[in-house]
Every structure is written in C-alpha cells, then in structure tokens.
C-alpha cells in the first residue's frame, strides 16, 4: 500500500474510532487517535497477518499492550475483514464481545490485554517460541508510554535482550500524556532510548504519524543483529482533532454531538 | 488395597525430584515441552533437565511476573510451557499474570509451584505459600492440583503435558511416602483418590497432609475402633463434588486437612459445597489458622497446628464424641 493510500486509511480509521466511541458513549479517544497510524502501517504495510492466515503458526503477531486503546485495534481489524464493521455498533454494549479492552473473543485479537505491563512479556515468550522452532514470523507489541513504570516491562526488556530476540519489535506510542497529566509529572521515564539501549535493545525514533517513516523503520528491523528492536514513535494524543490534541481531558473523553461533528469536519475527506 | 508404606523407605525420592525426572523423560520425546524457571532450576531440581535438554529450558531470572507472561507467550505459540517457581512467589507476585495472561487468555501454561505450604519452614512467612489455593480458587479457568505422593506426582506431570488448559501444580520439597502400593487406584484431575475406606468418618486431605491423615486413620482403628475413609483430594478445583457428597451421605462426620491457611482452601471449598447441599453433620477444618506461623521446620510447624497423626486423630475423636 502506498503512503498516500495509508494516509487516506488513517483518516477513515480516525473517523471510525470517533464514530464507535460516540456510539458506545465510552472509549479511549486520545490514545486511540495517537496510535492509529502505527496500527494502520503494521496491518496494511508490514505484518503478514489476515483473516485467511490467522490460524497459521507462521503468521506475524501483534499484541496490544496498551489495551485501553482497543478502538484503534477494532477499527483496524474490521477493515482487514476479521469481522463485519457493523459489529462495532455493539461496542461496550450489554453482552457484546466488543468490550473496552482486547479480548480473544474478537477474531483477530491475539491476546487478552488491558492490565498494563503485560504485552511485552507475552511478546517475548512468543518471539522466543519462534526462535526455538526456527520460524521466521515476527512479533510486534505496542506499549503506551504511560505504562512504562510497570516493572514487568523492564523484566521482559532484560529477557528479550538476553535471548537476542531480533524477531521482536516493541513500539512505544510516545504521546507523553497519561490519565493524570504529563508523563514527566506522573513518573518521568525519559530518556526512554537510553534506558532500553542500556538494557541491550536497538532503538529508533520516528514521527508516529508519518506513515512513510513508519514503513521505513519497520522495514529496517532488526535495527541491529541479535538485538530486539524498539521504535519510539513520537505521537500526539488526540491527533487529528485540534481541540483533542495534547489534552489530558480526552484520555477517555467522549465527544458530544457538536464535538463529533466538529471533529469529523476537521478530519475531512 | 495395600498397606501404607512408611516414611522411612530409603528409596523414596523427594517429590520435586520425581516431578523433574518425569518431566525430563517426557520432554526427551516431546520437543515442545519447555521448562521456564526463575533462577529456580536448583530448587526445582531442573539442573539435569537443563544439562540434558538445554534447548528446552528458558531461564528468566528472578522475575516472576515476566516468568508467567513469557510462559503465556510460549504457550500461545504451541509450546507446552512449565513455569517453575517457588509457590509463594509464583502465586503472589505474578497473580495478575496468572489471571490475565494464563487463565483469562486461556493460554495452557502449566504453573508449577515448588516448595509449597511451609516447606521452607524456618525461612518464614515470606517463603510460605499458605494463600495459593485461596487466590487461585478465585480465578476462573484454572485447575489446581496438589499431589500427595510420588505416584500422584508422576501421574500429575504426565496428565499436565496432555492438559491443554491452564493448570497449577503444587509440590512439596521432601519425600512423600506412597499412600498405597496399589497404583490401580487411578489418578485423574478432578477425581479424589480414596486411599483408605471406612464407614465412620471421612478425612479429606491433600498434598503432604494425606500421609498423616492416613496414619491417624490407622491409629484410630487400633485405639478406638473408628474406621475412617481417607481421601487424597489432590484437585482442589474443580472439586470432586460427587465424592464429597457421597462421603457426606455415608459417614458421620467430615474432617478436612491441608497445608494452607484455613481461609479459602480445601476445607472452605468442601464446606461451601456441603452447606449448599443441606449437610448438617459434624465438620471440622484443619489447617494453618489465620496467623503468621510459628518458627520451625515444616514438620514442627505442622505439628504445632495439630497437622499430625496424633493431632488429626484427636480432632476426629472430639468430633465423633460431640
């Protein structure tokens, strides 16, 4: 898929995220908008995974550690044909499988997540299994920058480097905000690159909204032989809707009717 | 049914040796079997396993949350992952990973809690695992098993390899005397093993408490003529409800014995089942009371709380008299 096509898809995905969050009257708007370009590029330009090969042991794996931004995952999976997009009209509603965090009840979801600090260890185990079986698939996991203080991430970072998991790529959706405020105010995790490099990872930084740059960085994986790869994707919480951008209030804010219309108008065609 | 073998059998192996030897034999024939350890290959008796099958052991280091998460990832990609760690840390530090990454995500990890109960004796409360039944019983989609002798341990490991669901196996450290020479009493998860039959009272125990329960039954028969049924209720969840209710029907009283705090363990599981089914006969739970244990070896601690042949016999006598 070309960069222009990916950009167009990101617009559609952003509109869908808002549409289904408004329908559900719940969701994580800001973070879903910050990470959606990453999911778009992974699913439409990088990973070998589709509804047709989802049971194949050779498929690439995506594990969304920042599970609260499930809306970004669901609209992407729907677009990939894992399930009818109309299913998302039931998002967060009584007895729906489309709950507010990733669940394997939804076709295309690899692991149940939601509690933070879980994705990276599971991704490490999956990547390790690939190495043991001499399989070529790659494992991608998306972490929020706000979940980095969870100790399990750092335990897993050690293991990934110890086992030289160059088939593993962790991506940090580095929008620099979490529910209470800035990361710097809550628990300063900077410098993220230096921490991971010291742990034995190869690190690249990228504009997390530049689809071409994202394509290029994933194509360069592994960034160094025998090292796990970390992509620090610099993003903007609420990206694409001016009044949501860089605002903590939209961490799980739900637009009212007027805000929804204004947001759609901004996103454009 | 044969006579119980005494604890003085010099050939009797420590329980964890039996676990690791069985796992090694099975793993030689199945390259998908992987032992995952948290700097615990020594205490888990996995040194030989690691030397023999170096490609089938994953060392995580002292990081239990990561241990369970990695094991879940391995399991999701088809590996038969045995995550081995001291029971106290495995089930406390990594509880959320057990809940989410293993049980909720239905990744068939075999969680192996070693040196369980008060096996670590005088090392004290930080190293005692007297909460594991309670916390894991509260989690959906996990089978909880505590074998009571080396036969049960061997069978449990064999079944664990085939068990494609989340599983917790709890092992002690020391040799556990064979409960019966008759290995014809089958071992199946979810089915209690009746290791001695008697019509008067039922003693339902598990893990390392079954042997003193059996000794208590011998003592009661000899000294008071009381004929006890003794059950190794190795599977705490799912509980063998049919057997417990049958015992409730056929005997005058039920005693439960476990190397676990009385809160949330085998006794409460039985009590809940019995109460909900209208049981109104005498019932006593034996275990560690709601306190941090006294200092001592495993045997001293268990003796202190009456978990011994004499202590169990005394409780049975008291219950039947009342």
The strand pairing partners of B36, in sequence order, are: B58, B83
Confidence of residue B44 (pLDDT cuts 50, 70, 90): confident
Phi-psi region of A237 (alpha: psi -120 to 50; beta: other; left: phi over 0): beta
Domain extent listing, chain B: 15-170, 193-321
Which residue in B has a C-alpha nearest to residue A112's C-alpha? B105
Domain extent listing, chain A: 3-268
Residue B3 is predicted with a pLDDT of 44
Q: What is the mean pLDDT of chain B?
A: 94
Residue B12 is predicted with a pLDDT of 79
Measured between alpha carbons, how far is B266 from B150 in angstroms, rounded to an integer? 21
Contact B69 A57 (CB under 8 A): no
C-alpha distances in angstroms, B239 versus B150, B176, B191, B211?
Answer: 21, 22, 8, 20
Between β-strands B110-114 and B167-170, what pairing exists: parallel, antiparallel or unpaired? Answer: parallel
SS3 category, A268: coil
Min Cα distance A9 → chain B (Å) is 30
Overall pTM > 0.90: yes
The strand pairing partners of B202, in sequence order, are: B229, B254
Among the partner-chain residues B34, B70, B78, the one whose CB lies closest to the CB of A121 is: B70
Among the partner-chain residues A114, A125, A156, the one whose CB lies closest to the CB of B71 is: A125
Find out whether B72 and A120 touch, Cβ atoms under 8 Å. Answer: no
Query: What does the pLDDT look like over A114-141, one tens digit per residue?
Result: 999 999 999 999 999 999 999 999 999 9
To probe the interface with A, which of B39, B73, B83, B102 has the most A CB atoms within 10 Å? Answer: B73
Residue B1 is predicted with a pLDDT of 37
CATH class of B15-170: alpha beta
Among the partner-chain residues A128, A129, A152, the one whose CB lies closest to the CB of B65 is: A152
Residue A88 is predicted with a pLDDT of 97
Stretch 122-141 of chain A: residues touching chain B, C-beta under 8 Å: 122-130, 132-133
Which residue in B has a C-alpha nearest to residue A56's C-alpha? B77
Confidence of residue A49 (pLDDT cuts 50, 70, 90): very high
Contact B72 A155 (CB under 8 A): no
In the predicted model, is pLDDT for residue B184 greater than 90?
no
Measured between alpha carbons, how far is A257 from B45 in angstroms, rounded to an integer? 63
In the predicted model, is pLDDT for residue B216 greater than 70?
yes
* Tokens 């995580």 found at: B60
CATH class of B193-321: alpha beta
What DSSP line would sit under B213-239, residue for residue? HHHHHHHHHHHT---EEEEE--EEES-
Return the structure tokens found at B286: 């034996």
Min Cα distance A46 → chain B (Å) is 20
Q: What is the mean pLDDT of chain A?
A: 97
Q: Report ipTM (2 d.p.).
A: 0.95
Contact B101 A151 (CB under 8 A): no
Contact B77 A133 (CB under 8 A): yes
The strand pairing partners of B100, in sequence order, are: none
Task: Find out if CATH 3.40.50.970 is the number for domain A3-268.
Answer: yes
Chain A positions in Cβ-Cβ contact with residue B79 (cut-off 8 Å): 129, 132
- With 0-12 / 13-18 / 19 or more C-beta atoms within 10 angstroms meaning exposed / middle / buried, residue A268 is exposed
Enclosing H/E stretch for B24: helix B15-28
Find out whether B111 and B40 touch, Cβ atoms under 8 Å. Answer: no
Residue B267 is predicted with a pLDDT of 98
Residue B9 is predicted with a pLDDT of 57
Min Cα distance A262 → chain B (Å) is 38
Confidence of residue B189 (pLDDT cuts 50, 70, 90): very high
Among the partner-chain residues B34, B61, B76, the one whose CB lies closest to the CB of A126 is: B76
Chain B positions in Cβ-Cβ contact with residue A128 (cut-off 8 Å): 58, 70, 73-74
Among the partner-chain residues A104, A122, A155, the one whose CB lies closest to the CB of B72 is: A122
């Amino acid at each position: 898929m070309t960069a222009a096509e990916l950009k167009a898809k990101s617009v559609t995905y952003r509109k869908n995220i808002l549409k289904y969050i408004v329908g559900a009257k719940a969701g994580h708007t800001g973070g879903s908008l910050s990470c959606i370009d990453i999911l778009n590029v992974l699913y439409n330009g990088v990973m070998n995974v589709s509804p047709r090969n989802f049971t194949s042991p050779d498929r690439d794996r995506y594990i969304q550690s920042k599970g609260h931004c499930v809306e970004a995952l669901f609209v992407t999976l729907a677009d990939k044909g894992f399930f009818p997009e109309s299913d998302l009209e039931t998002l967060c509603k009584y007895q729906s499988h489309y709950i507010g965090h990733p669940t394997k009840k939804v076709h295309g979801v690899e692991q149940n997540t939601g509690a933070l600090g879980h994705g990276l260890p599971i991704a490490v185990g999956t990547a390790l299994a690939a190495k043991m079986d001499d399989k070529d698939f790659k494992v991608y996991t998306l972490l929020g920058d706000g979940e980095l203080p969870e100790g399990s991430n750092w335990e897993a970072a050690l293991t990934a480097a110890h086992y030289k998991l160059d088939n593993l790529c962790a991506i940090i959706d580095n929008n620099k905000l979490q529910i209470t405020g800035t990361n710097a105010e809550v628990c300063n995790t900077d410098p993220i690159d230096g921490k991971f490099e010291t742990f034995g990872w190869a690190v690249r930084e990228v504009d997390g909204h530049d689809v071409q740059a994202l394509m290029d960085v994933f194509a360069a994986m592994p960034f160094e032989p025998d090292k796990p790869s970390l992509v620090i994707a610099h993003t903007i919480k609420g990206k694409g809707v001016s009044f949501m951008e860089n605002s903590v209030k939209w961490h799980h804010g739900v637009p009212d009717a007027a805000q929804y219309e204004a947001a759609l108008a901004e996103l454009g065609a | 049914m044969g006579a119980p073998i005494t604890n003085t059998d010099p050939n009797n192996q420590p329980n964890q040796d039996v676990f690791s030897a069985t796992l090694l034999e099975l793993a030689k024939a199945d390259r998908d079997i992987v032992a995952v350890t948290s700097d615990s290959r020594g205490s888990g008796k996995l040194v030989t396993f690691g030397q023999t099958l170096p490609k089938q052991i994953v060392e995580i280091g002292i990081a239990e949350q990561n241990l369970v998460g990695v094991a879940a990832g391995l399991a999701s990609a088809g590996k038969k992952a045995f995550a081995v760690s001291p029971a106290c840390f495995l089930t406390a530090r990594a509880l959320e990973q057990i809940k989410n990454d293993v049980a909720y995500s239905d990744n068939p990890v075999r969680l192996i809690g070693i040196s369980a109960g008060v096996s670590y004796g005088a090392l004290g409360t930080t190293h005692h695992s007297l909460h594991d039944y309670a916390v894991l019983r509260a989690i959906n989609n996990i089978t909880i098993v505590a074998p009571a002798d080396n036969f049960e341990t061997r069978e449990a490991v064999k079944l664990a390899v085939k068990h494609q669901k989340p599983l917790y196996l709890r092992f002690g450290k020391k040799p556990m005397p064979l409960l019966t020479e008759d290995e014809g009493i089958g071992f199946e998860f979810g089915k209690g093993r009746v290791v001695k039959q008697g019509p008067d009272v039922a003693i339902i125990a598990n893990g390392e408490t079954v042997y003193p329960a059996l000794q208590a039954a011998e003592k009661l028969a000899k000294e008071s003529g009381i004929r006890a049924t003794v059950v190794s209720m190795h599977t705490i969840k799912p509980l063998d409800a049919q057997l417990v209710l049958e015992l409730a029907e056929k005997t005058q009283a039920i005693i439960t014995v476990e190397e676990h705090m009385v809160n949330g363990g085998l006794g409460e599981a039985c009590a809940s089942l019995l109460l909900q089914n209208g049981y109104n006969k005498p019932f006593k739970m034996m275990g560690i009371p709601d306190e941090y244990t006294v200092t001592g070896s495993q045997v001293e601690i268990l003796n202190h709380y009456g978990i011994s042949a004499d202590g169990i016999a005394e409780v049975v006598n008291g219950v039947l008299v009342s």
